[in-house]
Amino acid sequence: MNDPIRRLSVVALFLFLSLMGMATYIQVLHAGSLNDDPRNVRTLYREYGTYRGPILVDGAAVAESVAVDDPYGYQRQYTNGPVFAPVTGFYSIVYGRTGLEQAQNSLLNGTSDALFWSRLGDLFAGQEQQGASVETTIDGNLQQVAYDALGSYTGAVVALDPSTGAIKAMVSTPSFDPNDLASHDTASVNQSYAALIGDENQPMLNRAIAQLYPPGSTFKLVVTAAALEAGYTPDTKIPAPDVLTLPGSTATIQNYEGESCATDGQGSTTLADALRVSCNTAYAALGMSLQWEGIDRVARSLGFEDSFQIPMTVATSQLPVDPDAPQTAQSSIGQFDVRSTPLQMAMVAAAIANDGVVMKPYLVSTVRDNSLQVIDTTEPSVYSTAFSAQTAQYLTDMMVGVVDDGTGTRAQISGVQVAGKTGTAESGTDAPPYTWFVAFAPADDPKIAIAVLVEDGGTGATGGKVAAPIAQKVLQAALDGGQ
């Protein structure tokens, strides 16, 4: 072989090996990231050309794919979109996925390992690959009632089955229509998305699980549990000064509208009465007396400082780090650095309703393949035992007092004992406070636990005035549905 031919052969061999190396890198090592790249049009057409499974509420589809005559093959459609948007999320060819559309994507699009045998069966049968159906735990009627009850308010409602942790309602307002983002008209989708992103009310924010708020006086339930676990009883006398000066400072804490909580003429009240009228000074002093460690332990056992997958990721509710005495006082009334999602506060109510046992919250009950065979079922599971059954019973009785003749009377239901707690938390701005109500009913045989959060209830808003009536409507609907 002469020199020119030998050099040409070496160059050709080098080019061939380079080509083989790059092909191996792209098709094997880099295949996953290429398939996942939302800019990959071939992946997009392949995914949209496959039947995507429905998301179900009460056995009916609230998100489903229907065949259309365009390059994508299927169009995602949402029934009653704004009501169920915090559950379904959206599925867009431009902006990807959120909510269950994202969290259950591999099941819905049929690529999950759990659907291997289903895919194999489809292959041999010559049938098109299909995604699984995802049945949620949501009660459609309760979801609608909660959505209607919030009305024009900006806020959230979460309702749980306290014995299982199943989420029966998860509403966030204002909401949006996922159909606007699922369109195959990209210009229209871009316009809708820009409008949603530019909306100062953040309609795509799931306030039930993705936003943290100071829980205000609803956090007094956690402090009360810590006190009861430390040996207090509902009748234990605790200091309830009209004004509490925080140690080492000139800062003070007062009660709502400067009211006095003392009931014995000596500046004290009982623990039960302090909760019934939501006495700030009594709880600030109680928190400092208990010291933060005891409160922190109970709060963590209720789920604070932990992350949950329902299967969407829930924002981690937060506690202060090593607070001093004044910070402990502020934290004990749900202010300072205490932050919570509405789901977390619903879990607090559910734990009291369930004898102190915290159940892991979940949103998906069953997954079925295209032949309706069950391939996954969520079994209720215990997260922790936060406190004793005796503490839970004491708390229940005290919360009944809140609704019977305390700050939560607007949550009363005729013929049913409701256990509840109001909350009104400073927002840290000049805006009106955040208002809360957490509750469960019936108090002697709890069927439903709930948390209501309203960001802006207007001038003079309190949890008792704004959030409690919303909770009453949802509790009533839940109990009516169970009859």
Which positions are catalytic?
Answer: 217
For residues 448 and 163, give the distance between their C-alpha atoms in angstroms, rounded to a whole number: 9
Q: Comparing C-alpha atoms, which of 212, 255, 131, 281 is closest to residue 427?
A: 212
Q: Comparing C-alpha atoms, which of 356, 340, 252 is closest to residue 301?
A: 356
Output the CA torsion 348→352→355→361 (10° steps).
-30
Query: What are 163's two structure tokens?
Result: 């014995």
Q: Comparing C-alpha atoms, which of 365, 391, 385 is closest to residue 376?
A: 365
For residues 105 and 36, give the distance between their C-alpha atoms in angstroms, rounded to a whole number: 12
Residue 220 CA neighbour count, 13 Å, CB half: 32
Angle 68-74-79 from CA coordinates, rounded to 5°: 95
For residues 229 and 435, give the distance between their C-alpha atoms in angstroms, rounded to a whole number: 28
For residues 219 and 213, give the distance between their C-alpha atoms in angstroms, rounded to a whole number: 11
For residues 158 and 436, give the distance between their C-alpha atoms in angstroms, rounded to a whole number: 12
Query: What are 394's two structure tokens?
Result: 């004491």
133-136 and 55-57 strand pairing: parallel
For residues 465 and 475, give the distance between their C-alpha atoms in angstroms, rounded to a whole number: 16
Query: What are 129's two structure tokens?
Result: 């690959």
Please check whether residue 211 is in contact with residue 205, taking contact to mean a CB–CB distance below 8 angstroms. Answer: yes
What residues pair up with 340 in beta bridges, in sequence order? 213
Please check whether residue 150 is in contact with residue 470, taking contact to mean a CB–CB distance below 8 angstroms. Answer: yes
Phi, psi torsion values for 91, nearest 5 degrees: -135, 105
